[in-house]
Amino acid sequence: MPRNGKYPEELRERAVRMVLDHQHEYGSQWEAMCSVADKLGPKPETVRLWVRQAEKDTGRRPGATTDELAELKRLKRENAELRRANDILKAAAHFFGAELDRQSKK
C-alpha cells in the first residue's frame, strides 16, 4: 500500500466496518483489528486509529470528530496566514514611517 500514509477512503470505511461488524467473533477488538489488517493490507495500528476515529465520529467515544479536527486545522491555517499578513503590514508601516521621517528632515 502507499508509503505516503494515504489509503483510499473506501478501504478505510471497509476496514472499520469489518472490525465493528466482526469484533464479537474475536477475543478482543484488537484481535479483530489485526485480522482485518492482515486481510486488507494496512498495519494493525493504522486500522486501530481508523476505528477509534470512527467511534469518535459516531459518539461512541469521547474526543474531537473528523469535522471538528478539519475545522481546527482550517482555523490554524487561517490564523497563521493572518499573522504573516499582519507582520508584512507592520514591516511596511515601519518602512514608510521611517521614509516619512527622512523626508521631513530634509
> What is the pLDDT, as a whole number, of residue 2?
52
Residue 4's pLDDT band, with cuts at 50, 70 and 90, is: low
Within 10 angstroms of residue 50's Cβ, the number of other Cβ atoms is: 21
Cα(26)–Cα(69) distance, rounded to whole angstroms? 31
For residue 39, what is its C-alpha cell?
486481510
Summarised one tens digit per residue, pLDDT across range 56-75 is 999 999 999 999 999 999 99
For residue 101, what is its C-alpha cell?
521621517
Reply yes or no on whether the pLDDT at 17 is more than 90. yes
Per DSSP, the three-state class of 30 is helix
Residue 39's pLDDT band, with cuts at 50, 70 and 90, is: very high
Reply yes or no on whether the pLDDT at 104 is more than 80. no
Let me know: does 16 contact 54? Beta carbons within 8 Å.
yes
Residue of 64, 54, 67 lying closest to 17 (CA atoms) = 54
